[in-house]
Amino acid sequence: MVKGLSHRDQNTHDQTIHSFKKIFHGHGHKLQKVTELAQKIKEGIEKISPFIQQNTQAVCPECKDVCCINKHGYYNYEDLIYIHALGLNPPDYKFVRNDTDPCQFLSENGCSLERSIRPSGCNWYFCGSLLERMERSRDYQEFDDSLLEVVTLWMALMDEFAQVTTILNPPDSA
């Protein structure tokens, strides 16, 4: 497994996915708290998704400089932990695409991936125009509070995964 996973390297990507499959398949019982946290994160994202969608529907169609480019459409190391904790597999990628090309998951109707399973580079980026519109909404504070809950759960998930995998694969004591 490689922290700081490079989305440009298919071999590293594939090796990391293989490692996570082995860990979650072979030690799922030890990762129960990780899977519970991932489910809570998914529910939190689903809770805030309508607010984000309402605002992106108003802002994004008018945008001249589309943010949904290929380089944001790849899962990082932490995203892959979350995806595997949910018992899912990441989508297949076309690694030959340029970073500045439109995202491979962008369709005429927006993203083809559910918000709760989108890569964090995509999911948590709000351009200035979008953020400005969101902040003017009367529901913004509730959204912001819910987003903070998701972030807190995300950090707890990463901490728990690190603790369990350290026990499974202790560092050399030499």
Look up the pTM and report it.
0.89
What does the longest C-alpha to C-alpha distance in the chain come to? 59
Q: Which residues pair with 111 in a beta bridge?
A: 106
What is the torsional sign of CA 62, 146, 135, 123? negative
Please name the residue ranges forming H helices in 27-107: 32-59, 77-85
Q: What is the pLDDT along the chain (174 residues), one digit of tens a residue?
A: 555 555 567 888 888 899 999 999 988 889 999 999 999 999 999 999 999 999 999 998 888 888 888 888 889 999 999 999 999 999 888 888 888 898 999 888 888 999 999 999 888 889 999 999 999 999 999 999 999 999 999 999 999 999 998 887 766 544
